[in-house]
Amino acid sequence: MKGHEYVQELLAEIEKSRNVLFQLDEFLQAVKVNELRTLGKTQSTALIISGILENYYTCLETTFLRIAQFFENNLKPEKWHSELLRKMTLKIDSLREAVLSDKTYSILSELLRFRHFKRYYYELEYDWERLDYLLRKLEQVKPLLEKDLDSFVLFLKRI
C-alpha cells in the first residue's frame, strides 16, 4: 500500500470520476426530456443514448483501474475488463475493502457487455428494447453505486 499523499490522490481521482458520472447522468436526463420526447426512438437518439451508456461505464472502469493499480491488484491481459470488474467485489484482507457489492457488480456486468458490443458494432440500427432495458439497469445501479463508492471512500479516509 502507498503513502498518505497517494491515498489523497486516489480520493481525488474517485471524486473527479463521480463528478463526470453526475454530468453524464444530467446529460442523459436532458436527452430524455428534449431529444427523446421530440424526436422519439430514432437512430439518432439511439446513438446518443448508446454513447452515454458507453461513456458512463468507461468512466467507472477507469476509476476501478486506478483503484486496482493503487492496491497493486494484478490483471491478466486476456479479459482484463471483466476481471477488473469482478475484482472490485473482493475484500482483500489486510489490503482493501470491496469496492462493489455483488448486486452492483451484477448490474454493471450488463453495462460492460453493452460497452464491448458497442465498441465493435458498426451498424447504425440499435435495438430500442435493449436500450430501454439498459437505461432501467442504469437507474437501478446509480443508488447502489453511490452507496458502494461512499463506503469505499470512507475506507480510504481511514487508512
Cα 114 from Cα 46, distance rounded (Å)? 13
Average per-residue pLDDT for the chain: 92
Which grid coordinates are listed for 19?
Answer: 463528478
Is this structure's pTM higher than 0.75?
A: yes
Which amino acid, residue 35? E
Half-sphere exposure of 135 (CA within 13 A, CB side): 18
CA-closest candidate to residue 119, choices 57, 41, 27: 57
> What mean pLDDT is predicted for residues 5-27?
97
Domain boundaries, the chain: 4-158
Calculate Rg over the CA atoms of the chain: 17
Cα 140 from Cα 77, distance rounded (Å)? 30
Q: Which of 26-30, 42-46, 101-105 has the lowest mean pLDDT?
A: 42-46
Is a pLDDT exceeding 60 seen at residue 129?
yes
> What mean pLDDT is predicted for residues 19-37?
96
- Given this structure, which CATH class describes domain 4-158? mainly alpha
pLDDT of residue 74: 81
Q: Quickly count: other Cβ atoms within 10 Å of residue 14's Cβ.
A: 18
> What mean pLDDT is predicted for residues 24-45?
95
> What mean pLDDT is predicted for residues 9-31?
98
Cα first-last separation, the chain: 10
* Percent of the chain scoring above 90 in pLDDT: 80
pLDDT of residue 51: 93
Cα 129 from Cα 141, distance rounded (Å)? 19
